[in-house]
Amino acid sequence: MAFSLHYLDNRGLRSAKGGVTGDPDAMRQAFRQGRVRLALDDGKAFDVSIIAHAEGSATAYFESAIDVR
């Protein structure tokens, strides 16, 4: 599985948007769940919302926001 991540920090509201690529069935299942936990190799993990996936595609797109104010 691979992913790309765009991280934004705007006045205490941190957000991330990106895409994750893997088995098309796993991507479909993640999209149907809506919210999933993305675990990174360094042990960190965060909740993301899967916002888009095309049937049969190996890529799903996500976003996440954390208010740190």
Q: What is the pTM of this model?
A: 0.77
Distance from C-alpha of 32 to C-alpha of 52, rounded to nearest angstrom:
10
**pLDDT given at position 67:** 54
**pLDDT given at position 55:** 95
Token pair listed for 60: 């799903």
**pLDDT given at position 9:** 75
Distance from C-alpha of 69 to C-alpha of 1, rounded to nearest angstrom:
33
Nearest alpha-carbon partner for 19 in 64, 56, 55: 64
User: pLDDT tens digits for 7-64?
Assistant: 777 776 778 889 999 999 999 999 999 999 888 788 888 889 999 999 999 999 999 8
Domain ranges of the chain: 2-67
Distance from C-alpha of 69 to C-alpha of 62, rounded to nearest angstrom:
23
**pLDDT given at position 69:** 46
